């Protein structure tokens, strides 16, 4: 939230769009519903967001930006790679638990973005993954674990991101505890 009137309107549109896309899907959401939900005429809506596809794109980019911002403290800390790996995982799951509904929307609806916007999303996702790759490379260089590649990274992030499908607020484990469990699984496997 901000005192800037324009930005605040935009935030309200992004929040309303996320909720409507979650409930009715991208294709099941009309501009009129969005207009009703934010209490804004179509003209004002258009001024702030352009069209519906642009709205889905901005929801997606904001989410990736937030995930990247959440990773920044871990990425830039001077801790050893194993500590940083734990911090990255905790930051991701705390972020996911906070923005779970937006993640459901982006994971489910991003296939309807224009090719150009999808490419921008993939570039932003790659930037996020690069943070993990750097920490995992640093850990391998420090002798903490073996070398990793893209298959590993996608598997590791898949394990963590899949929590969007089952993690519940107030569940038996906190996001941080789930993150710690998975970091242990990533580093040590099921080995005794």
157 near a copy of itself, judged by CB under 8 A:
yes
Q: How many residues bind a copy of itself (CB under 8 A)?
A: 45
192 near a copy of itself, judged by CB under 8 A:
yes
189 near a copy of itself, judged by CB under 8 A:
yes
> Candidates 4-12, 39-47, 53-61, 148-156 — which segment interacts with a copy of itself by CB under 8 A?
148-156
Nearest-angstrom CA–CA distance, 130 and 88: 12
Q: Kindly list the distances between the CA atom of residue 135 and the CA atoms of 41, 46, 94, 103, 175, in Å, as whole numbers in the listed order.
A: 47, 42, 19, 24, 21
Q: Where are the alpha helices (DSSP H) in the chain?
A: 5-24, 31-38, 42-49, 52-76, 81-98, 100-109, 115-141, 150-161, 175-188
Q: Kindly list the distances between the CA atom of residue 161 and the CA atoms of 26, 45, 47, 72, in Å, as whole numbers in the listed order.
A: 21, 32, 34, 18
- Subset of 88-107 contacting a copy of itself (CB under 8 A): 104, 107
Please pick, from the candidates 74, 121, 148, 175, the single residue that binds a copy of itself as defined by CB under 8 A. 148
Q: Which residues contact 148 (CB under 8 A, 6 or more apart)?
A: 133, 136, 137, 140
173 near a copy of itself, judged by CB under 8 A:
yes
Please pick, from the candidates 19, 44, 98, 112, the single residue that binds a copy of itself as defined by CB under 8 A. 112
Q: Which residues bind a copy of itself (CB under 8 A)?
A: 22, 24-29, 104, 107-109, 111-112, 136, 139, 143, 145-146, 148, 151-152, 154-163, 165-166, 173, 178, 181-182, 185-192
């Amino acid at each position: 939230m901000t005192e800037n009137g324009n930005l605040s309107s935009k935030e309200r549109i992004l929040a309303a769009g996320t909720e409507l896309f979650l409930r009715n899907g991208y294709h099941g959401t009309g501009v009129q519903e969005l207009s009703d939900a934010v209490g804004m005429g179509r003209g004002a809506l258009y001024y702030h967001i352009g069209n519906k596809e642009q709205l889905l794109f901005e929801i997606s980019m904001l989410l990736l930006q937030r995930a990247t911002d959440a990773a920044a403290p871990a990425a830039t800390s001077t801790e050893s790679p194993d500590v940083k790996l734990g911090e990255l995982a905790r930051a991701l799951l705390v972020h996911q638990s906070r923005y779970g509904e937006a993640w459901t929307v982006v994971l489910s609806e991003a296939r309807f973005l224009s090719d150009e916007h999808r490419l921008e999303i993939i570039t932003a996702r790659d930037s996020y993954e690069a943070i993990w790759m750097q920490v995992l490379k640093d850990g391998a260089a420090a002798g903490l674990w073996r070398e990793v590649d893209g298959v590993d990274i996608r598997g590791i992030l898949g394990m963590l991101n899949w929590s969007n499908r089952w993690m519940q607020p107030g569940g038996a484990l906190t996001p941080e505890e789930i993150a710690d469990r998975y970091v242990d699984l990533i580093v040590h496997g099921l080995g005794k």
